[in-house]
Chain A
C-alpha cells in the first residue's frame, strides 16, 4: 500500500490549506477518541479514480429499487460484463452511508452478495469483495456487523492464491475486527489467527502489508492482552515471522515493516510474554532496524520514516525493562554503541520534523543508559552531552527526560562527572533552575546534587554564577524545599 500511495501524494481538488485544516480536525478528533480510549481507525482500499464514475466526482446515493436492481442484475444477468458492471455501480453507491443503510435493510441483500462472493466467476467475486469492503469501512456498527455472514468465506479465501483478492479480504477483515468485541468473538473461533498466520508466507508485499494491518487491529483490541495474545498469537509462529519482516536489508519494505512494528508494539506493551520475544532475538533485530532507520533518515527526505521509528522505539524501550535482558553475566543483550549514535540521529530528525516524538526517543535513551555504564560512557565519548542539552528548551516533558538521562550518567560516579564538568552542563542547569515547572526544577536539583558530590570543584563556579540566587527562588515550593535547602548547605560549606 505504501508503494502504491507514493504515486498519490498530489494536491487534491481542494487546496493544500483545506487539507491542512481537515488534518487538524482529524487530529483533534483522534486525540479526543484516544483519551476516551476509543481510538479506532479503519483503512479503505479504493482503487478506481473518481473520473470513472462518469459525470460528477462522486457517485450518487442509491435508493432501494436501484440496489435491488443492481443485485438482481449481478446475480442473474446474462452477459458477464453486465453483471460485473452492476456490481461496480453498487459498489460506488455503497461509498455513501445512506446507500449502505439501504443495502443492509434490504432483505436477502447480504445473502446475495455472499453468493456472488463465493461464485465461480472470478471478476464477480472481486467486485462482490469490494462491495463488502466498502461496507466494512462504515463507521456505523450496524453496517459493519451486517457483514458478519461473510466472514467464514473471507477467512477461507485467505488461503487462496489470488493476491489481489487476499489483500481485499484482509483489509475487510481488519476493518471488521476493529468494529466491536462482538465481531471478534465470532472471528476468533472461526480461526482468524491460524488463517492470518498462513498468509504470512505470501511473497506479495501488498498482501503482507494488509496482513500486518489486520493483525495490528486484532492486537490493538482491548481484550487482546488477556484473550487473544496469550492463547492465539504467542502459540503460533507469528512472532518469529513478524521479527523476520523487520529485519533490515534489501527485502525490508517500509509499508510492511510499519504494520508489523505496530503489531509487535501491541504485543510487547501488553507484557504478556516478553522474555519469549527476547528469546527470538527481538532486541537485536530491533536494534539493527534502528541503525537502518538512522541511515535512511540521513539519506532520504521524508517518506514517513517516523511512522516506523515510533513503534520500534517503543518496542525497544519496553523490552529493555525486562529482567531477561540481562544474561548470566549481567551484561545487556543490546550493547552495540551504534544504537546510541542511531538514536541521536533520530532525535535530530524528530527535532526537525516531528518534535512530538522526542519524548519517545528520550525514553529509549533513558532505558539504555539507566543500568549501563557502557552506554553512559558512549554518551560521553561520542560528545553527545551538548546535543542533548540543546533539547532542553523544547518542552517541560523533554527537559525532564534530558535531565533524567544526565542523572543516569552522573550517578555512576566521579569518573563520569569529571567528563560532565567543566562544560556546558552547569550553565544549562543554572538556566533550568529559572524554569517554573516543578518537575524540571526538581530534576535539576537532583543533578546538581550528584555533580556537587562527585565533582566538588563545580560548587565554586556555581556560587560565582549566582547559583544561590537561582536556588532561593524555589525555597518556598513544597516539593522542592528540602532539596533546595540541602544544596544551599552544600554550596555554603563548599
Chain B
C-alpha cells in the first residue's frame, strides 16, 4: 500500500517559511517531520505524521526545483515556472543567502577553493551546523565571489544588484568577498574572540577607505575606473606605497617625542590609565606605524588583523584600558599628528588612522 506518487502544485507556489528554514538548515525530510510534529499549532489541524510527511516532501521538492533559480536570483523575478509573489521571492532569496555567523567565522579569509570545501565536514562537526547547510553557505560565498570578481564598479552595489539582497546582507557578502580575496588571517587563536560582525565592520571600513574605489568621486578615478577591475576588492596600491612615508613618525626621534608630548598633554587628567599610556606611547606608536609601513607586502596584509591585536589591542588590554580610554587615546594620537610641523603626510595619515581607529574601536572588547 505504498504511496507511489504524491504531488501538490499550486498556481501560486505555496511555501511554508518554517519548512524552508528546516530545508536550509539541512534537515532531512524525516527529521523535519519530527520537528514539525512537535512545533506549535500542529494539534490545531489534527495533522497526522502522514499528512505532515506528504506536505514536507512536497515543499522540499519545490525548494529543490527552486534552488537552481536561487543560484541566479535575477532569474527568479522573470522566470515563468513558479508564480511567486515578489515579497515571497525576496524572502526566499534573503533566507537562502543568509548564513550562520559561526560558520562564516570558520571560513572567513580562506581561499574559496575545492580544498576548503573538502574540509567542511570538520567545520560541520565543530559548529554543529549540518554539512548540507555548510555546503550551501560555502557555495553561496563562492558563487557571489565568482560573479563580482569579474564585475566593475562598487562591490556592495554589485552584490546587491546581482543577488537582490538586502543592504545588510550585501555588505556582509562584500566583507566575505573582500576577506577571501585578500586572504586575511582570521583563524588564529588570538583572533578567536572576534565575531564575524567585527570583521565585517572592519572590512566595510577597509573597502570604504583603502581601496581604489574609495576615492571614487574624483574625476581622476573615473578614468581609472576603466582600467581597474576590482576597484573595491583590492587595496589601493599607491596608498599602501604612501604609507611607507609614515615611518618618519617613529624613525625621527624629535617627531616621536613631540608627538608623545602633544598626546600626553591632551590626555593628562582625563583618564585613569594615564601612566600606562605615557609609558606605552612609543611602543604603541611603533606598532601602528610599522603595520602601516609593511602593508605593501601581501603577506603582511594577511596578518593585518593579527598585527592589530598583537601590537595594539593586547598591550592595551593587559594594562586594563577601558574602551573609552582607548578611544580617547586614539583620537588624540591621530589628531596630534596634525600639529607636528615637520610631518607632511597628513592626508595619508588621516586615511590610514581613520580606518585603524574604527577597526580598533570595533575589535576592542572590554
Do A and B form a real pair? no
